[in-house]
Structure 1
């Protein structure tokens, strides 16, 4: 799978980031945690991202 960084909301190396894949899908880097109370199937995960990340992606025209 080829991954291309689309946008992020900070100037640091590690922060919430949105990526595109050559499969026509998106990958999201965010904060993990288990305090959400959700039941998540094996092989899936939940990440928390700031709303600003999606707003920036839309404003930048990458999604």
Structure 2
């Protein structure tokens, strides 16, 4: 799978190690990097997980015309 970074919450490019980030894949899907959360109250199958990202990350990607 190939990834292309769309938007990140990092203040500058060299800090992209631990930031909420939105990626486009070559499969026509999106990947989201964020903090894993367990307090959502959802029942998930073993192969799924839930991450929390700032709404500003999605707004930034839309404003930049990336999605």
The normalised TM-score by structure 2 is 0.87
Counterpart residue number, 1:42: 46
TM-score by structure 1 length?
A: 0.91
Q: Give the distance between the partners of 2:2 and 2:58, measured in 1 at CA.
A: 21
- Number of positions where the alignment pairs a residue of Structure 1 with one of Structure 2: 63
Poorly superposed stretches of 4+, deviation over 3 Å: none
Query: Deviations 1:11-62 (Å, cap 9, x if unpaired)?
Result: 2322100000000000000110211111111211100000000000000110
Q: Unmatched 5+ residue regions in structure 1?
A: none
Q: Does 1:29 align with 2:41?
A: no
Structure 2, unmatched stretches of 5+, are: none
Normalized per residue, the structure richer in strand is 2
RMSD between aligned residues? 0.9
Matches within 5 A, 1:1-63: 1-11=1-11, 12-13=15-16, 14-63=18-67
